[in-house]
Chain A
Amino acid sequence: MKEAPAPPAQLGPDDKALLARLRSGEPQAFEELVRQETGKLLAVARRILPTEEDARDAVQDAFMFAFRSLARFEGQARLSTWLHRIVVNASLMRLRTRKRKREESLEPLLPSFQTDGHFVERFATWDDPLTKLETAETRALVRQLIDELPDGYRTVLLLRDIEGLDTEETAKLLETTPNAVKVRLHRARQALRTLLAPHFTRDRR
């Protein structure tokens, strides 16, 4: 893995104490960190990677990288934030080695315009998705629809909108330009909107 990302945030007193114990090689400190963070990191890896096995491997990769990098960790981020960025990176690296779905065109999922610049479609009002999302079934459906996006768009949407990385960080991790990230994010959201529409459009009966 390449250099560890260093997002902003302050290292709290608990982190400082744990970091000191980790650096002194205290086995209990490693166990504390792993037990405290594995659940959250696994959730991140599961969102990015297609299988449970891949996700677990990415979490393991991330911890190995973090353990090796402890000496270089300068405490400019919280430990959990630092680990979050590392597992995102580890997951992306693993994703690159996987056989990808064919990068299908997003075009059919994007809005069409008339020659005068008006939308072709007239958008019917949605029920409030947040109310519908109170059920686990709808949340699973939305996750499934996100998974239907081509990888190149799905990962940008996950990194920006779900994992909360900024445009520059996302561009760095995906080895692309900030502008390409912006364009892909916008298109990914538009495509996801199209996929959500049949499920969220208000029933007019």
Chain B
Amino acid sequence: MTCRECAEFLADYVAGELPADALAVFERHLKACPNCEEYMRQYRQTIAAGRAACADPDAPAEIPEALIRAILAARPQDR
């Protein structure tokens, strides 16, 4: 397996979707190739960083009252 092929397998690997035979080849390559191992680590860290950065705590806590009013005013009243 080359590093290029290894990189192509990354998404399936982190999703746990690599078939057993491909997984064995992939992991053998990672063990022998520190550069791919580092790339794989950073690929995982990228996913985690995106999640952490977009977690809701940074969202403004205040919910705009005008928006709530507008939504409630527009709700169907014909029931």
Which A residues contact B (CB, under 8 angstroms)?
A: 24-25, 27, 30-31, 34-35, 38-40, 42-43, 46-47, 56, 59-60, 63-64, 67-68, 111, 113, 116-119, 122-126, 128-130, 133, 136, 138-143, 146, 157-158, 161-162, 182, 185-186, 189-190, 192-193, 196-197, 200
Contact = CB atoms under 8 A, between A and B. Distances in A.
Interface in B54-79: 54-56, 58-59, 61, 63-64, 67-68, 70-72, 74-76, 79
Contacts of A197: 42
A161 B2 contact: no
A117 B63 contact: no
A186 B10 contact: yes
B79 A123 contact: no
A161 B50 contact: yes
Contacts, number: 137
Q: Summarize A's interface: helix, strand, loop or mixed.
A: helix
Interface on chain B toward A: helix, strand, loop, or mixed SS?
A: helix
Nearest to B10: A186
Given A60-B71, A161-B50, A126 B76 contact: no
Interface in B30-72: 35-36, 38-39, 41-43, 45-56, 58-59, 61, 63-64, 67-68, 70-72
A43 B63 CA distance: 10
Contacts of B3: 113, 117-119
A126 B42 contact: yes
A126 B68 contact: no
B59 A119 contact: no
Interface of B: 2-5, 7-8, 10-11, 35-36, 38-39, 41-43, 45-56, 58-59, 61, 63-64, 67-68, 70-72, 74-76, 79
Nearest to A122: B35
Given A64-B71, A139-B55, 13 more contacts: A24-B79, A43-B56, A60-B74, A117-B3, A119-B3, A123-B42, A126-B41, A130-B48, A140-B58, A141-B53, A142-B53, A161-B51, A189-B43
A117 B53 contact: no
